[in-house]
Amino acid sequence: MSIITISRDSYSNGKEVAVKAAEILGYKCLNEEVFEAASKQYNVPGQKLIQVFHELPSFFGDSVKTLKNYIAYVQSAFTGFLVKDNLIYYGPAGHFLIQGVSHVLKVRIIANTDDRIKTRMNRENTTEKEAIKYITKDVRKEKKWAKLMFGVDGSDPSFYDLLINTSQIDISNAVQIIVDTVNSKKFQPMTYSKKCMENYDLSSRVRALLIEIDPEIRVRSESGDVYIYTKAHSRTIEKNTSIIKQKIEGLEGVKSVNIHVTEDVFQNMAGTMR
């Protein structure tokens, strides 16, 4: 069966759409379970991991580098769930955390600003002025967050297969559109797409283990053969290579490891200036 990620505007009824679609399809719904799994696996408080995906970095908080480490941990836990299929993830950034797998249907639920304001007023029993302020701030924050953490425009519709406006399409019809789409041949898992998911999962797990060595480290996997691309100071290449091998030794699914280390020109320059 397939996988659905549902990204949503705040107060757009996206959660309701996700839950009802899961009921009809018999899929499992995921959100905070992903963060709980990452917390246990990487020994980081779950609330801190959730906060990373909902708040912009503060001056006195963790560095952007540390926050990107946390994102790598969550991505590793996330793909661990995805290899099991039959689920809907309606938490943050699902469309960023998994790419290039054809049986993953990516949905974005939006709503007109006026409707989002009214929904917040009703749900939170707040004033129109406060609701306008909240929604405006939320839109800006989401855009800044995507740019800072992933270097992209999060509002770009090309990230999604379906874009549904719940101001125009009611919840029941939105659910039916998603159900019909995910049941189409296009989004049925095939041997190749399942293999892509397994490769993506292994790459994510390896990268999460190595992210502290190099925040820009890249990992690619092909049927258990892992290819690692990283940079290091000329004096630490041998040491880093050894550490990488130690960290992923015995990791489930790894058959071979190919490490490609290039000299970090900027680190070398910094070293010569000390």
What DSSP string describes the chain? --EEEEEE-TTSSHHHHHHHHHHHHTPEEESHHHHHHHHHHHT--HHHHHHHHHSPPPTTS--HHHHHHHHHHHHHHHHHHHTT-SEEE-STTHHHH--S-TTEEEEEEE--HHHHHHHHHHHHT--HHHHHHHHHHHHHHHHHHHHHHHSS-TT-GGG-SEEEETTTS-HHHHHHHHHHHHTSGGGS--HHHHHHHHHHHHHHHHHHHHTTT-TT-EEEEETTEEEEEEEE-TTTHHHHHHHHHHHHTT-TT--EEEEEEEE-HHHHHHHHH-
Query: What are the chain's domains?
Result: 3-187 (3.40.50.300), 213-273 (3.30.300)
pLDDT value of position 270: 46
Beta bridge partners of 165: 110
User: What does the CA dihedral 155, 161, 167, 173 come to, rounded to 10 degrees?
Assistant: -160
pLDDT value of position 78: 97
The Cα–Cα gap between 244 and 189 comes to 33
How is residue 217 written in tokens?
A: 């480290």
- Number of Cα atoms under 13 Å in the Cβ half of residue 43: 1
pLDDT value of position 267: 52
Identify the CA nearest to 88 among candidates 113, 71, 106. 106
How far CA 260 is from CA of 10, 63, 148, 255, 266, in Å, comes to 42, 27, 27, 17, 18
pLDDT value of position 58: 81
pTM of this prediction?
0.91
pLDDT value of position 265: 52
pLDDT tens for the chain, 274 residues: list them. 799 999 999 999 999 999 999 999 999 999 999 999 999 999 999 999 999 999 888 867 788 889 999 999 999 999 999 998 899 999 999 999 999 999 999 999 999 999 999 999 999 999 999 999 999 999 999 999 999 999 998 889 999 999 999 999 999 999 999 999 999 999 999 999 999 999 999 999 999 999 999 999 999 999 999 999 999 988 889 999 999 999 999 999 999 999 999 987 555 444 544 4
Is residue 38 a contact partner of residue 97, using CB atoms and an 8 Å limit?
A: no
Question: Which residues contact residue 132 at a Cβ distance below 8 angstroms, ignoring those fewer than 6 apart?
Answer: 117
pLDDT value of position 273: 40
Is residue 72 a contact partner of residue 88, using CB atoms and an 8 Å limit?
A: no
pLDDT value of position 235: 87
Residue 231: how many other CB atoms lie within 10 Å: 17
The Cα–Cα gap between 250 and 194 comes to 23
